[in-house]
Amino acid sequence: MARIVMKFGGTSVADLERIRTAAARVKREVEAGRQVAVVVSAMAGVTNQLVDWVRQLDPLHDAREYDAVVATGEQVTSGLMAIALQAIGVPARSWAGWQLPIHTDAMHGKARITGIERAAIDARFAQGMVAVVAGFQGIGPDNRITTLGRGGSDTSAVAVAAAIGAERCDIYTDVDGVYTADPRIVERAQKLERISYEEMFELASLGSKVLQPRSVEIAMNHRVRLAVLSSFKDVPGTLICNEDEIVEHHVVSGIAHARDEAKITVVKVADRPGIAASLFGPLADAGINVDMIVQNISPDGSSTDMTFTIGRADLDRALVVLNNARDEIGFTELRPDNKVAKVSVVGVGMRSHAGVALTMFRTLAAERINIQLITTSEIKVSVLIDEKYLELAVRALHTAYGLDG
Amino acid sequence: MARIVMKFGGTSVADLERIRTAAARVKREVEAGRQVAVVVSAMAGVTNQLVDWVRQLDPLHDAREYDAVVATGEQVTSGLMAIALQAIGVPARSWAGWQLPIHTDAMHGKARITGIERAAIDARFAQGMVAVVAGFQGIGPDNRITTLGRGGSDTSAVAVAAAIGAERCDIYTDVDGVYTADPRIVERAQKLERISYEEMFELASLGSKVLQPRSVEIAMNHRVRLAVLSSFKDVPGTLICNEDEIVEHHVVSGIAHARDEAKITVVKVADRPGIAASLFGPLADAGINVDMIVQNISPDGSSTDMTFTIGRADLDRALVVLNNARDEIGFTELRPDNKVAKVSVVGVGMRSHAGVALTMFRTLAAERINIQLITTSEIKVSVLIDEKYLELAVRALHTAYGLDG
């Protein structure tokens, strides 16, 4: 019998009426003869409230207690969903992460799933029941509740799909699919019928908020077909699948952007081996992820400037960390800038088409937008620009790559 | 090292400020050299919200899913309490009921604790930590979350105290002790310095809302000294202890009342052996507790009237149950009355003093209050009266037994 996973995000279970609507969708799939595992997020706003309480009590809170508090949001929804299903005649039961269990590593607050025990779900499927699983959580090697970090319910859903051998994982959300760019910025953005795992992973990593990157990574590794669908409109969504299942390829599939970037230039660092390690080691120890890095050529050969980007929320902390390590690193000045944004073009077609980056640079130049940093990979080009040109850049690139609908 | 349990009710952890206040109280006990286990309720209002959601989705909800949803309230508070303690330098960790674990039977929604594993608490105590335990919950033999019924956190606290061999269990609440009567009704009610387990159990069973009866029962069986204290005022509370620890005894210790009563008279039941079983069997099967029962003498010897009381919330359901069993029971009419209330006088002194019931009947007669039903036990006398005389009756009895302050 065909198995699917249906995942409902926070806005899709925001109140009892929406939970009932979601339950009715599940019933439809059950009546179509499918075995269904449902993965739910917390009701919209609940996680924020819980996180806020924890932070107010202690900004440097114990991550294990944070997890115990915050994981309750999904537990509530999973129980309510099971009850809503039973109320319309669909036998169902719920599991919290620890119960199934969903095993994770010990990184409380941003744990990674290490394994899911499927026996309980298989047993309930055999009894004709729907399995409802609380997303975003698991249990760590310390036998304590863990959470997977923001957006983690997507990852829970894909991991459950992989574990139970589901033929598809449907992500129900408040948008109706993956677009060539954010439709709030680009009016002529088009919904993609299909997109490859690799491209979706890049888009998600580069600022598209439709899916958590880790969920796409697991889907890619386990070849789980992912669909992004609207909870509110009955329209086709976007299928994330193998590249070879996609017939027509554009060179560029989408334009991603990320606003919450900050840049730090470290002025006059000694130009000697090991300097990058002495600079980025303390940041890594502080849990601050560095994204783009550029080392300028030093004019006098003895010192150099290093520029890199981090998440804007980490800027203040990064400056403290670097200033504390100043003697060890050796620099004259830190120049922070929190008014920067990252724009990226993504497409597997780049592999076989030269000149994709050049089109990007020419387009931005024509709009008189200065490029501050550049990074590339096999299927993407990212540039850092002044935040105020962000919308202009995304629109111009969307047109330049022929994506306008 | 002396061990105590401190239990904070819903109003005592209603917001972050109150959680901080409670944490400061815990710190004081820790600094006085005590090993402290804290048991918490859900923040005031949270449980009602969760119960309301469940009932709206399905009035006949699955009790196991109800438990999964409703138990989250205490889990949130336990994590927040641990964080609040850590924030003021008190090492602490939290446990949900399933985690410790607190074992219960399988009666979801009103489970009874069958055992508590103390090893984890002992281990943390040995490390100088405070143990924070989510009240109201446990884990059943089906490995699913159970809850203990309303007020269950009191029971959790006493059971933890018994399990870890605590010398005292302090119940912090929104009243500052146990009174000779409800101070909202009797202005001259006095706070009791001490009261025996037996009397407190009767008071709690007969309508005093200060403690859950089951918590007093466990305290009595395990000889745990219970203190009822105010979370908001720093005044002495009431100690619930062995009778022999109480020097001065009144004949009557307190007047209890319960408003939420209903009465059903079953008219012209056949007066034959087994009739009580055929009447009360179906009610028990429906989970409806019958309290007072009176069988009238039948004038003609062939039929009789049975009158009994139940909780007012169960009245409609009880009438349906009895009407469905009408053929089997055989009666002419059901006369329901939901405007009745129960007033009780409680005191261990009754054992050695005759005439306590007589004083009650005379006092009520002097106020022209008709007694509808009477039940007695070794240390209490209860009467059912018209609800509109409730306050009058309680005040008159309070004066009659010399309890006015």
The enclosing domain of A136 has a CATH number of 3.40.1160.10
In which domain, by residue range, is A163 found?
3-174
**Residue B186 φ/ψ, nearest 5 degrees:** -110, 105
Q: What is the pLDDT of residues B175-198, one digit of tens each?
A: 999 999 999 999 999 999 999 999
Task: Please say if the pLDDT value at position B355 is more than 90.
Answer: no
Q: Which residue of B has its CA nearest to A51?
A: B80
Could B72 and A68 be called an inter-chain contact, meaning their C-beta atoms sit closer than 8 Å? no
Nearest-by-Cβ selection for A57 from B16, B93, B98: B16
d(CA A47, CA A68): 12
Nearest-by-Cβ selection for B76 from A72, A79, A87: A72
Partners of residue B94 in chain A, C-beta under 8 Å: 65, 68
d(CA B26, CA B176): 17
Question: H/E element holding B158?
Answer: helix B152-164
Q: B68 and chain A: CB distance < 8 Å anywhere?
A: yes
Shortest distance between the Cα of B185 and any Cα of chain A, in A, equals 38
Shortest distance between the Cα of B388 and any Cα of chain A, in A, equals 39
> Residue A254: CB partners within 8 Å, gap ≥ 6?
A178, A179, A180, A181, A192, A195, A199, A203, A208, A345, A346, A347, A403
Note whether residue B289 is domain-resident: no
Task: Please say if the pLDDT value at position B373 is more than 70.
Answer: yes
From the list B136, B133, B154, the residue with the least C-alpha distance to B213 is B154
Shortest distance between the Cα of B209 and any Cα of chain A, in A, equals 28
Q: A100 and chain B: CB distance < 8 Å anywhere?
A: no
Task: Please say if the pLDDT value at position A297 is more than 80.
Answer: no
Lowest mean pLDDT among A259-263, B128-132, B149-153: B149-153
Task: Please say if the pLDDT value at position A298 is more than 70.
Answer: no
Neighbours of B404 (CB within 10 A): 15
Which residue did the predictor score with more confidence, B84 or A207?
B84
Q: Which residue of B has its CA nearest to A93?
A: B65
Q: Give Cα B196 to chain centroid, integer Å.
A: 16
Q: What is the dihedral of CA A320, A321, A327, A329, to 10 degrees?
A: -130
| A175-198 average pLDDT score | 95
Nearest-by-Cβ selection for A57 from B68, B87, B98: B87
Give the count of domains, chain A. 1
Q: What is the pLDDT of residues B203-256, one digit of tens each?
A: 999 988 889 999 999 999 999 999 999 998 889 999 999 998 888 778 899 999
Mutate to test the interface with A, among B15, B83, B130 (most CBs of A within 10 A): B83
Partners of residue B143 in chain A, C-beta under 8 Å: 99
Full-model pTM? 0.87
Note whether residue B359 is domain-resident: no
Q: What is the pLDDT of residues A36-91, one digit of tens each?
A: 999 999 999 999 999 999 999 998 899 999 999 999 999 999 999 999 999 999 99
Could A69 and B79 be called an inter-chain contact, meaning their C-beta atoms sit closer than 8 Å? yes
Confidence of residue B87 (pLDDT cuts 50, 70, 90): very high
Q: A79 and chain B: CB distance < 8 Å anywhere?
A: yes
pLDDT at A293: 87
Could B78 and A61 be called an inter-chain contact, meaning their C-beta atoms sit closer than 8 Å? no
| B105-118 average pLDDT score | 94
Q: A130 and chain B: CB distance < 8 Å anywhere?
A: no
Q: What is the dihedral of CA B26, B31, B32, B37, to 10 degrees?
A: 40
Q: A69 and chain B: CB distance < 8 Å anywhere?
A: yes
Mutate to test the interface with B, among A46, A64, A77, A83 (most CBs of B within 10 A): A83
Q: Number of helices (H) and strands (E), helices first, in chain B?
A: 13, 18
* B83 and A62 Cβ atoms separated by less than 8 Å: yes
Partners of residue B61 in chain A, C-beta under 8 Å: 83, 86-87
Q: Which residue of A has its CA nearest to B47?
A: A76
pLDDT at B298: 66
Partners of residue A76 in chain B, C-beta under 8 Å: 50, 53, 69, 72
Note whether residue A257 is domain-resident: no
Percentage of chain B modeled with pLDDT above 90: 78
Total residue count of chain B as it appears in this document: 405
Q: Which two tokens stand for residue B217?
A: 């029962």
Q: Which two tokens stand for residue A196?
A: 């490859």
Q: A365 and chain B: CB distance < 8 Å anywhere?
A: no
d(CA A380, CA A347): 6
pLDDT at A383: 94
Note whether residue A109 is domain-resident: yes
Tell me, what amino acid is at A148?
Answer: L
* B127 and B90 Cβ atoms separated by less than 8 Å: no
Confidence of residue A202 (pLDDT cuts 50, 70, 90): very high
| B32-60 average pLDDT score | 96
Could B57 and A143 be called an inter-chain contact, meaning their C-beta atoms sit closer than 8 Å? no
pLDDT at A151: 83
Task: Please say if the pLDDT value at position B58 is more than 70.
Answer: yes
Task: Please say if the pLDDT value at position A154 is more than 70.
Answer: yes
Percentage of chain B modeled with pLDDT above 70: 99
Q: What is the pLDDT of residues A92-112, one digit of tens each?
A: 999 999 999 999 999 999 999
Q: B120 and chain A: CB distance < 8 Å anywhere?
A: no
Partners of residue A58 in chain B, C-beta under 8 Å: 83-84, 86-87
Could A56 and B98 be called an inter-chain contact, meaning their C-beta atoms sit closer than 8 Å? no
Q: B83 and chain A: CB distance < 8 Å anywhere?
A: yes
* A348 and A379 Cβ atoms separated by less than 8 Å: yes
Note whether residue B27 is domain-resident: yes
| A172-197 average pLDDT score | 94
Q: Which two tokens stand for residue B41?
A: 């309720």
Confidence of residue B405 (pLDDT cuts 50, 70, 90): confident
Cis peptide upstream of residue A183 (ω within 30 degrees of 0):
no
Q: What is the pLDDT of residues A168-180, one digit of tens each?
A: 999 999 899 999 9
Shortest distance between the Cα of A184 and any Cα of chain B, in A, equals 34
Q: Which residue of A has its CA nearest to B96?
A: A68
Task: Please say if the pLDDT value at position A299 is more than 70.
Answer: no
Q: Which residue of A has its CA nearest to B143?
A: A99
Nearest-by-Cβ selection for A53 from B16, B98, B145: B16
Interface size, chain A vs chain B, as Cβ–Cβ contacts under 8 Å: 107
Nearest-by-Cβ selection for B58 from A83, A94, A144: A83
| B327-331 average pLDDT score | 88
Q: A57 and chain B: CB distance < 8 Å anywhere?
A: yes
pLDDT at B240: 96
pLDDT at B215: 94
pLDDT at B299: 66
Q: Which two tokens stand for residue B338?
A: 């939901």
pLDDT at A330: 87
Nearest-by-Cβ selection for A50 from B76, B78, B84: B76
Could A68 and B94 be called an inter-chain contact, meaning their C-beta atoms sit closer than 8 Å? yes
Note whether residue A112 is domain-resident: yes
Angle at A93 between CA A145 and CA B321, to 5 degrees: 125
| B43-49 average pLDDT score | 96
Shortest distance between the Cα of B114 and any Cα of chain A, in A, equals 21
Which residue did the predictor score with more confidence, A275 or A193?
A193
Q: What is the mean pLDDT of chain A?
A: 93
Shortest distance between the Cα of A121 and any Cα of chain B, in A, equals 15
Q: DSSP character for B107?
A: -
d(CA A290, CA A322): 13
Note whether residue A33 is domain-resident: yes
A38 three-class SS: strand
Task: Please say if the pLDDT value at position B132 is more than 90.
Answer: yes
Could A57 and B82 be called an inter-chain contact, meaning their C-beta atoms sit closer than 8 Å? no
Note whether residue A158 is domain-resident: yes
Could B80 and A53 be called an inter-chain contact, meaning their C-beta atoms sit closer than 8 Å? yes
> Residue A385: CB partners within 8 Å, gap ≥ 6?
A340, A341, A342, A343, A364, A369, A370, A371, A372, A393
d(CA B336, CA B315): 8
